[in-house]
Structure 1
Amino acid sequence: MEGVNLNGRKFVMVSSTASAVDPDSPTEFQYWEADGVVWGSYTGDTVTHGRFVGTRDGADVAISYAHALKAGGKAGGQSSSRVEQGEDGLLRLVEEFRFDGDDTLHVSVCAEVPAS
């Protein structure tokens, strides 16, 4: 994944083992990256607003996150993602994560939204 930067890229969640993904209003993620540091925000589906920060080394991204839930309350935790590039040149993020206080390993997949 050398030469591929996440800066300014937008992704939408397409699947998750933690919850059903609303295809009409999936969680949307905005990524920024500089000098091996990644950060961004997300909203949609069950999340009113969320933030993340972490690092990237090659195809591996490690972040900590926190978000507010539409149903009330908040959630946070850590995740690790693998950046993959499809034949169409668009990226996918395959993420493994655990919520704070829960030992269950979840997997989600986010697909890059093509620039318009």
Structure 2
Amino acid sequence: MNKVLLLTACIGVFNLSGSCSSSRKVKPEQINSLIQEKLGPNFTQETNSKGNFSLYIQNLTETDDKIALKFIVVDVAKNTIIYENSFLPGHVKWHSDTALEVLSLPGIIEADEDLSHYKKIISIALPKQ
């Protein structure tokens, strides 16, 4: 029983850690419905400065009880999801044209800590062709 609980906990931590990427190509008319399927109807879209990648971030609503919010990166030209993950309350934004800054805050921040302890820069690796 303890092994099952430990395995379940490890899977949950891995899911929040930032290693969940995929490469799923869809038809242009299907990308919006796929994003809504993964994030729900309430999300924000931000394109990087070159316009080749779009970041879709699930929005928290007043009635939501979610702790972690999901985000997806889409290769605009190929209509392919190249990265997806989740974060705790904080933010996800473009750090550069090929990297994201993810601030994932725990429930309690110690007085001697600053936010840089909770920031990660994630390079958006393109799928191999």
Normalization by structure 1: what TM-score? 0.33
Larger-Rg structure: 2
More strand by share: 1
Q: Give the TM-score, by structure 2 length.
A: 0.31
Larger % of helix: which? 2
